[in-house]
């Protein structure tokens, strides 16, 4: 009788706990560090793969070569949009570096034909949203005295761990609730018309 109870009541939770341990232990991935004093927005999103004209490897640029996000996405600190670098900026390095790789040859082809690769937008907020990169970078980097080399932590709040990806993929929901919870936790404006236009 007692054994039966053990089987019915105690065993399932124990089994669940063990399986949870196994599941959570399985994908051992280094989480992106959070900037000090910031409550990160909560939420994940399983974004689709976006095929780009050139399969741009973020991991090689950021993780191996340690290039700052704002070296290429220059406009993040001074405009609403982070911006895609002009092909000439890519060629600044890739005139010399890795010229034998097919992706770079494709890039060089674009550059010599004076065309831009037609990059597809991955992190797209709706048209009725006013989102300013410069205001967020100012608050979380320049006003918070965060070293600029750690800017990827701030970008990662909304863009996730880009340095682990090749082509960028949307892995945060970027919904209104996602924005609102972060604004509440970090003292952002709560007025509808600050973001809705």
Partner 1 sequence: MSFKNILENWSAFRKDAEAGGHHKYDHRWGMAINLDVCTGCNACSTACYAENNLAVVGKDRFEKGQAMHWMRIERYWDDADRQFPERGASFLPMMCQQCGAATCEPVCPVAATYHTPDGLNAQVYNRCIGSRYCSNNCPFRVRYFNFYSYYETWAEPLNQQLNPDISVRDKGVMEKCTFCVQRIRASNDKAKMENRAIADGEVQTACAQACPTGAIVFGDTMDPNSAVNKLWAKHEVKRGDYLSKKPKVNAEKRGYRIFEELNVDPSVMYLERVREEI
Interacting residues with partner 1 (CB under 8 A): 127-128, 130, 132, 134-135, 138, 191-194, 196-197
Minimal distance, residue 196 CB to partner 1, in Å = 5
> Maximum distance among all alpha carbons in the chain?
82
- Measured on CA atoms in the order 143, 147, 151, 154, is the torsion positive or negative? negative
Determine the Cα–Cα distance for residues 100 and 114; give it in Å rounded to an integer. 20
What minimum distance in Å lies between the beta carbon of 180 and partner 1?
A: 13
34 φ/ψ angles, rounded to the nearest 5 degrees: -100, 140
**Rounded CA gap, 20 and 13, in Å?**
10
Helix, coil or strand: residue 194: helix
- 25 to 21, 22, 107, 165: CA distances (angstroms): 6, 5, 40, 21
């Amino acid at each position: 009788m007692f054994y039966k109870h053990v089987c019915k009541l105690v065993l399932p939770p124990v089994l669940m706990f063990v399986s949870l341990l196994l599941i959570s232990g399985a994908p051992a991935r280094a989480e992106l560090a959070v900037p000090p004093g910031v409550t990160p927005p909560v939420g994940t999103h399983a974004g689709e793969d976006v095929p780009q004209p050139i399969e741009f490897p973020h991991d090689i640029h950021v993780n191996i070569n340690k290039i700052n996000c704002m070296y290429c996405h220059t406009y993040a600190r001074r405009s609403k949009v982070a911006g895609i670098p002009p092909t000439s900026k890519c060629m600044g390095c890739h005139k010399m570096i890795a010229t034998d790789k097919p992706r770079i040859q494709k890039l060089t082809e674009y550059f010599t034909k004076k065309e831009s690769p037609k990059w597809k937008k991955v992190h797209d907020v709706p048209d009725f949203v006013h989102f300013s990169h410069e205001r967020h970078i100012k608050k979380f980097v320049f006003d918070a005295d965060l070293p600029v080399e750690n800017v990827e932590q701030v970008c990662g709040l909304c863009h996730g761990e880009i340095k682990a990806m090749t082509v960028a993929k949307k892995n945060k929901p970027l919904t209104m609730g996602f924005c609102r919870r972060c604004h509440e936790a970090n003292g952002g404006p709560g007025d509808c018309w600050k973001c809705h236009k």
